[in-house]
Amino acid sequence: MEKTILLGEKEMKLKSSAATNILYKRVFHEDILLKLGEYSHNIKEMERLQKKVEELRADKEKPKEQILSEMTEILNSDAFTQSSKFQDETLPRLAFIMYVEANVPVDKLMTKLTEEQYLFWLMTIDRDELLGVVGQVMDIWQAGAQTHSKPKN
């Protein structure tokens, strides 16, 4: 899937393909499929914890100190820290691969894909603004990741 997203005032074209995860592994030596699986699991866990926080806030019988302590514990839980790490580290890397796929001709793709190229690209974008479009970047990946066939068994 190919889509242009707005990063502040800058337009950025991203493209996900069937080779995105292979290119990602080649450059960053990490498994993006496993990372995306973990992230998806953590998002569900965070939604569950968010509900718990709302329940804590609504509980007027509990002492405030206990509520604050429990909320801090939730915010420091693995789901929150790992999701934050995914958004800070993995997401810009995934966006870089998708940016290169969308903007570099296929025959030149391999030469453009190095970690040094990524660090250079990272200097040209606003990371805070990239964090603001996490959902859109994930949408581009997920739209390409949709499957329609059903296993017979």
Partner 1 sequence: MASRSTDAQQTKKLKRPIDREFNSALYFLRCKQMGLTLHELLGLNYGDVVDMMIESANDREKYDYKATQHDFDTVFH
Q: Which is nearer to partner 1, 124 or 149 (CB)?
A: 149
Q: Which residues in 88-127 contact partner 1 (CB under 8 A)?
A: 101, 106, 109
Give whole-number Cα distances, 3 to 91, 110, 142, in Å: 16, 22, 12
Q: Which is nearer to partner 1, 20 or 90 (CB)?
A: 20
State the nearest-atom distance from the C-beta of 70 to partner 1, in Å.
33
Does residue 90 come out as left (phi exceeding 0), alpha (psi in the -120 to 50 range) or beta? alpha
Q: Which residues in 26-55 contact partner 1 (CB under 8 A)?
A: 31-34, 37
Per CB under 8 A, 146 contacts partner 1: yes
Determine which residue in the list 4, 8, 10, 19 makes contact with partner 1, applying CB under 8 A.
19
Give whole-number Cα distances, 36 to 20, 87, 118, 120, in Å: 13, 11, 20, 24
State the nearest-atom distance from the C-beta of 21 to partner 1, in Å.
5
- Which residues have a Cβ under 8 Å from the Cβ of 117 and sit 6 or more positions away? 96, 100
Opening angle at CA 130, ends 128 and 134, nearest 5: 120
State the nearest-atom distance from the C-beta of 38 to partner 1, in Å.
11
- The answer to whether the CB of 23 falls within 8 A of the CB of 97 is yes
Per CB under 8 A, 7 contacts partner 1: no
Q: Tell me the number of residues near partner 1 by CB under 8 A.
A: 29
Provide the binding-site residues for partner 1, judged by CB under 8 A: 1, 16-22, 24-25, 31-34, 37, 101, 106, 109, 141, 144-153
